[in-house]
Structure 1
Amino acid sequence: MKEYHEIQATKEWIHNFIIHYNICPFAKRVWDHQEVGYYVERGENIELLILSFISKLKTEKISTFFLLYLTQFPNYLDFLDFYYSCEAILEDKDYDAEYQVVAFHPEYLFAGEDSKDPSHKTNRSPYPMIHVLRRDQVEKAIESYGDTDEIPRRNIELLRKLG
Structure 2
Amino acid sequence: MDQQIIDDVNQWLDEVVIGLNLCPFAAKPQREKRVRIAVSHATDEEALLNDLQAELERLSDTPATELETTLLAIPDMLEDFAQYNDFLDAVDLWVEQFGWEGELQVASFHPNYQFADTELDEPGNLTNRSPWPLLHIIREESLEQALEHYPEADQIPARNILRMEALSTEDKVRLFPYLFG
Is the 2:16–2:22 contact (alpha carbons within 8 Å) kept by the matching residues of 1?
yes
Q: Which amino acid aligns with 1:7?
A: I
Q: The residue matched to 1:66 in structure 2 has which SS? A: strand
Q: Which amino acid aligns with 1:85?
A: A
Contact persistence 2:114–2:125 (CA under 8 A): yes
Which letter does structure 1 place at the counterpart of 2:21?
A: N
Q: CA deviation at 1:115?
A: 1.5
Q: Which amino acid aligns with 1:97?
A: G
What are the Cα deviations for residues 7-63 of structure 1, in whole angstroms up to 9, with x where unaligned? 001100100111011000000111111110011101212112112211221123211
* Aligned residue runs from structure 1 range 28-43, under 5 A: 28-43=27-42
Query: Aligned letter for 2:103?
Result: E
Q: Distance in 1 between matches of 2:118 and 2:84?
A: 19
Name the structure 2 match of 1:5: 4
How far apart are 1:92 and its partner, in Å?
Answer: 2.0
Match of 1:103 in 2: 108
**SS of alignment partner, residue 37 of structure 1:** strand
Quick one: which amino acid aligns to residue 140 of structure 1? Q
**Partners of 1:47 and 1:71 in 2: CA distance:** 14
Matches within 5 A, 1:42-121: 42-60=41-59, 61=62, 62-121=67-126
Offset, 1:87 = 1.2
Q: What is residue 141 of structure 2 aligned with on the other side?
A: 136
Q: Show the counterpart of 1:20.
A: 19
What count of residue pairs does the alignment treat as equivalent? Answer: 162
TM-score, normalising length from structure 2?
0.86
Pair 1:156 & 2:155 matched: no
Q: Residue deviations 1:65-96, cap 9 Å, x none?
A: 10000021110111112222111111222201
Answer yes or no: is the 8 Å Cα contact 2:55–2:70 preserved in 1.
no
In structure 2, how many angstroms separate the alpha carbons of the residues matched to 1:20 and 1:48?
33
2: CA distance, partners of 1:59 / 1:133: 12
Q: Report if the CA contact (8 A) 2:42-2:74 is conserved.
A: no
Between 1:63-72 and 1:77-86, the stretch displaced more is 77-86
Moved over 3 A (4+): none
Unaligned runs of at least 5 residues, structure 2: 169-181
Structure 1: which amino acid aligns with 2:144? Answer: E
Structure 1: how far apart are the matches of 2:158 and 2:137? 23
Percent of aligned positions that are identical: 29
RMSD: 1.1
